[in-house]
């Protein structure tokens, strides 16, 4: 496991967030070398400052900031449902419907995600134009 001091040397404190300033993935998430391999920085932070991640769980950033590694902003989430996915993965038809809904005034990512039974991560990627059908993992 990476030493806490080395990990903390790669963060900057910004308005209540620990922002990862070290290496980053093309997806925008931070990455840190720990246990002999590169891993998402928020998962490393959770293990360092909170505890072990339950087997098969994700670590979600509740503040929705991909570079945030603040322990209090991280929570484990269990994948459940068909094929072990917490949410359905949007196909082309659902992506078009989500894009249409996002253009409606007053629509929130959270509401769209709930209505379409998809993750807020997928809705955000659709909104940003970075979602690729058939290449996403929940």
For residue 21, what is the enclosing H or E element?
none
The C-alpha atoms of residue 133 and residue 38 are separated, in whole angstroms, by 26
pLDDT of residue 80: 55
The C-alpha atoms of residue 33 and residue 94 are separated, in whole angstroms, by 37
- pTM as predicted: 0.59
Q: What percent of the chain has pLDDT over 70?
A: 87
pLDDT of residue 64: 87
Domains of the chain: 4-77 (no CATH), 84-128 (1.10.10)
Mean pLDDT to the nearest integer, 22-51 = 93
Give tens-digit pLDDT for 54-88.
877 889 898 989 999 999 999 988 665 444 555 66
């Amino acid at each position: 496991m990476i030493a806490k001091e080395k990990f903390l040397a790669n963060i900057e404190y910004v308005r209540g967030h620990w922002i990862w300033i070290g290496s980053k993935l093309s997806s925008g998430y931070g990455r840190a070398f720990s246990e002999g391999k590169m891993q998402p920085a928020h998962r490393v932070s959770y293990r360092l400052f909170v505890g072990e991640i339950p087997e098969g769980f994700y670590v979600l950033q509740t503040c929705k900031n991909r570079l945030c590694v603040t322990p209090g902003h991280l929570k484990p989430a269990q994948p459940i449902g068909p094929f072990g996915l917490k949410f359905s993965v949007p196909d082309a038809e659902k992506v078009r419907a989500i894009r249409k809904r996002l253009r409606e005034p007053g629509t929130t990512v959270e509401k769209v995600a709930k209505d379409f039974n998809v993750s807020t991560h997928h809705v955000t990627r659709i909104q940003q134009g970075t979602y690729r059908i058939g290449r996403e993992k929940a």
